[in-house]
Amino acid sequence: MIELLPLFIAIPLGGAFLITLTAWKLRRLADILGVCAGLPLLVLALLCIGKQGVYHVGAFLAPLGINLVLDGFSVLLLVIVNVIGFMALLYSISYMEQYTAKYKYYALFLLMVGGMNGVVLTGDMFNLFVFLEIASIASYALVAFGCEHEELEASFKYLVLGSIGSTFILLGVAVLYGLTGFLNMASIAQAVASMEKTWLLSFASVLFLVGFGIKAALVPFHPWLPDAHPSAPAPISAMLSGVLIKALGVYAITRVVFNVLGATPLFGIIIMVLGVLSMTIGVFLAVGQWDFKRLLAYHSISQMGYVVLGIGLGMFIIANNGPTLVAGMAIFGGIFHLANHAVFKSLLFLCSGSVEYQTGTRQLKSLGGLQEKMPVTGTTCTIASLSIAGIPPFNGFWSKLIIVIATVLAAFVFPGMLILTAITILVSFVTLISFLKVLRYVFLGELPSLFKQIKDSPFFMGISLVMLSLLCIGMGLLLIPGLRSVVFDPAVEALKQGLDYGKQILTGF
């Protein structure tokens, strides 16, 4: 299995090249090639579950060579990226018919997926930056794909802020290279573990925090997201919110802090503060929105706060030599919510795309009564809304519950943590209010006469909605000990190893 890791990068990059070369006149060929590139990536990602190992590119060993590293955390992200990617590709078959140059869309889409897979797998800091830029540049173009004033303005803002974030990350890589003489993550981790902590190391940490914070759209680094996500085509909005901000932002900062720089109490506090700010500010900004996709965009900021809060809490407990079981629970809650959010937020953006596709509007006040005409979209959107609000038995409830329990248990050792419990529950309640408004104005009430003749989503769009809604219903089963030990426990253990992870990579799993 380890020998196949380069395919996660080669297939999407090769597919993008092939589509550009052959499908510029045949729209259906672009559909076929796009889906045929996404399907093997999905299968390979699922086959990676339970596997781990290191692939040495060109047979050169670290620190001279470039490594692709497969462990529990990278496997989880590979599955998320490629499951959501394949669903978005299926959805795009019908949805992108309203755009011209469909082959360019698929080429850019696959470049974005290849970049994200590279970020997740690479064991080299500079190549992390390279793959991050591949995915980012493709996403800038995809946000502007409609070429209207709104899309171009949003893409330009996203490009400027994204470039600033990339610059901070590149400077952080340069500082680490100057301090340690290595670009390989495992070698840097060993060097950091044996050196005295200096202000330069702290400076590099701040650079990475700001750079990856921008990519993850954490408050106060979020201004690009509320414009970029609504402006992009619906499947790209799903990818941006469902996987891009996770792979380029949350995954990268979590990996770098835990396994390269080492967790510290201060960094844990900063991460938790960013999580709390993102949760609260994002959800209260969302409540007042009447643009369907803009409302969802603000909720992406809020839900990322849950993920970052759980991971930051685990980081803080580990750095203070607190109870490892509580730290593991907090990290587990964070990464479980990361997976859940990828599913229900992608589903919500695809539902909003279906509504706009049939009605031509995203304004909640202009809609109503669509459940009668669009039962598949209405039912799946209801499932996703209940999931994001944390209503049992849907997947969002379980990950939020785990984060709440972790904050309560942490309060026995660090009493101030009870405030986190209260904030987490409050934000979930406000989220429920926000999505009750969505369901009331979009799917309930009286159907406007303008929409009397509309129909539900086309077949391929509907398939994606149904599959994602089934995941929202069934992902709670991943809490069963046998499944959890295969899917989530290896990811938690990879992070809890901290800087010792570097030694394991260099000596072999």
Domain ranges of the chain: 2-507
Give the per-residue pLDDT at 212: 93
> To 10 degrees, the CA torsion angle through 110, 112, 116, 119?
110
Token pair listed for 188: 């840097």
Give the per-residue pLDDT at 164: 94
Token pair listed for 97: 């018919």
- Please, what is the Cα angle at 8 between 118 and 384, to 5 degrees? 85
* DSSP β-bridge partners for residue 68: 55, 122
Please name the helix (run of DSSP H) or strand (run of DSSP E) that holds residue 162, with its range, or none: helix 149-180
* Residue 359 Cα distances to 8, 17, 92, 442, 461, angstroms: 37, 35, 18, 11, 15
**pTM for this entry:** 0.93
Pick the closest to residue 37 from 99, 112, 97, 101 (CA basis).
112
Query: 118 near 149, Cβ under 8 Å?
Result: no
How many DSSP H helices and E strands does the chain contain?
22, 2
Residues 497 and 210: their CA atoms lie apart, in Å, by 24
Give the per-residue pLDDT at 508: 65
**Chain Cα centroid distance, residue 188:** 26
Residue spans of alpha helices (H) in 234-264: 234-239, 245, 252-256
Residues 306 and 279: their CA atoms lie apart, in Å, by 6
Please name the helix (run of DSSP H) or strand (run of DSSP E) that holds residue 67, with its range, or none: strand 66-70
Give the per-residue pLDDT at 352: 92
Sites in the chain below the pLDDT cut of 70 = 59-64, 147, 508-509
* Residue 235 Cα distances to 232, 349, 392, angstroms: 8, 7, 27
Residue spans of alpha helices (H) in 23-71: 27-47
Query: 208 near 256, Cβ under 8 Å?
Result: yes
Please name the helix (run of DSSP H) or strand (run of DSSP E) that holds residue 333, with its range, or none: helix 324-359
Q: What does residue 354 show for φ and ψ, rounded to 5 degrees?
A: -65, -40
Query: 258 near 315, Cβ under 8 Å?
Result: yes
Residues 117 and 111: their CA atoms lie apart, in Å, by 10
By the 10 Å C-beta count (0-12 exposed, 13-18 middle, 19+ buried), 382 is classed as middle
Give the per-residue pLDDT at 228: 85
- Hey, what amino acid is at 405? I
Residues 494 and 415: their CA atoms lie apart, in Å, by 28
Pick the closest to residue 311 from 446, 407, 178 (CA basis).
407
Residues 51 and 70: their CA atoms lie apart, in Å, by 7
Give the per-residue pLDDT at 163: 93
Residues 493 and 508: their CA atoms lie apart, in Å, by 16
Please name the helix (run of DSSP H) or strand (run of DSSP E) that holds residue 313, with its range, or none: helix 292-319
Q: What does residue 56 show for φ and ψ, rounded to 5 degrees?
A: -95, 110
